[in-house]
Amino acid sequence: MKTIIAACSQNLSGSRASIQTALRTLLAVPWPSQRDIGSALQLLAVLQWVLSFLLLGIVSLLLLIYLLFTSFWLIPVLYLAWIIFDWDTPEKGGRRLPCLRRWTVWKHFRDYFPVKLVKTHDLPPNHNYIIGSHPHGILCVGAFCNFITGSTGFEELFPNIRSYLTTLAGNFRLPLFREYLMSGGLFPVTRRAIGYLLSQKGTGNAVAIVIGGAAESLSCRPGVTTLILKNRKGFVRMALRHGAFLVPSFSFGENDLFRQVVFEEGSWMRSIQRRFQKMIGFAPCLFYGRGLTSCRSRGFLPYARPITTVVGEPVAVPKVENPSRELVDHYHELYICALLKLFNENKTKYGLSESDELHIL
């Protein structure tokens, strides 16, 4: 009996010692610093944004289709009825929620790159504006962060100016995704939607349009400053019809966020991309960024590269209900001159060399 008691006492002492050793080891592990926690929050903020834009619409659509064949079939039926009832809302200014634009998550999103907004001239609130956003990049990070979220201080830099951003009309046909887009101030890049904001919402509206669109994203890669703009004149015609001033903006660093496999013009892969672009409105790009666990691995998250969006001097535009082609060409040329001036005056400040030029196709 004494032998058994002694053995038990020895085991308990050994267990106690093991627990104490484990606790000492745990306490010796350094706790994450405030900087580590901040970096993790920034990474999570970017992750949720990328997943939302790449997957939310498709996943929501597939989920609603699945629910149709379950006992929860009433949910997709009611939501479909709501979409039919609410069909024209995206074309009429959407459903902007200021509280969503002020989410703390967008500050972490901003700090990941980081993104900065630079003002060069005032935008008086007694006019409406069409802001040309360049370049497109892969996911338009600069345009989204500056014109949709309040994290870079657009409302403080431009008092009494409400910013909006356009995107493909097809995105507003995807369930739940449409609500997400409208709540931030996104709306379709259609003549009707832009015209509504410039004519039915008073003054002080700034509509940002990523003019290069899907065609420009096909040439997006680090070190390239090529814009698709020469034959993009619809935004100038809209500005003339509504007397909206034209404002150039350029996001330095936008093309450095991803690496893309660029196919040469004339190749069969390039022709496939062009066909997809014409059919569905956007071009499928083969791109990659950093991985989730390490910046040295490959994944779908953007690299942490600084983006500086510079908003230039507004070009005054008269209101002409039916502008002639010559008038459109004239203001289109004025806009290009203002954009080139903005680029050349700021390129050396934000990562480019004096020899870098802006190529406009």
pTM of the model: 0.86
Position 184 scores a pLDDT of: 87
> Which residues, in sequence order, are CB contacts of 190 under 8 Å at separation 6+?
91, 169
Q: Once rounded to an integer, what is the mean pLDDT over residues 118-147?
A: 95
Model confidence over 17-42: pLDDT tens digits?
666 675 566 456 566 777 778 889 99
Give CA 356 to chain center in angstroms. 25
Q: Give the residue with greater pLDDT, 48 vs 2.
A: 48
What is the pLDDT averaged over residues 108-112? 96
Cα 357–chain centre separation: 25
| pLDDT of res. 11 | 47
Tell me the mean pLDDT in the region 105-114. 96
pLDDT of residue 201: 85
DSSP, residue by residue, 26-67: HHHSPPPPHHHHHHHHHHHHHHHHHHIIIIIHHHHHHHHHHH
State the pLDDT confidence band at 76, using cuts at 50, 70 and 90. Answer: very high
pLDDT at 306: 96
> Given pLDDT bands bounded at 50, 70 and 90, which one contains residue 302?
very high
Q: What was the pLDDT predicted at 278?
A: 63
**SS3 state of residue 245:** strand
Across the range 142-147, mean pLDDT stands at 95
pLDDT at 191 over 90: yes
- For residue 121, give both structure tokens: 């001239």
Q: How confident is the prediction for the chain on average, in pLDDT?
A: 86
Residue 328 structure tokens: 């459109």
Residue 192 identity: R
Q: Considering the chain, what percentage of its residues have pLDDT values greater than 70?
A: 83
d(CA 350, CA 336): 20
Residues 303-341: tens digit of each pLDDT:
999 999 999 999 999 999 999 999 999 999 999 999 999
How many CB atoms within 10 Å of residue 76?
19
pLDDT in the model for residue 90: 93
pLDDT the model gives residue 274: 66
Residue type, position 32, single letter? P
Q: Would the pLDDT of 166 be above 50?
A: yes
Q: What is the pLDDT of residue 263?
A: 60
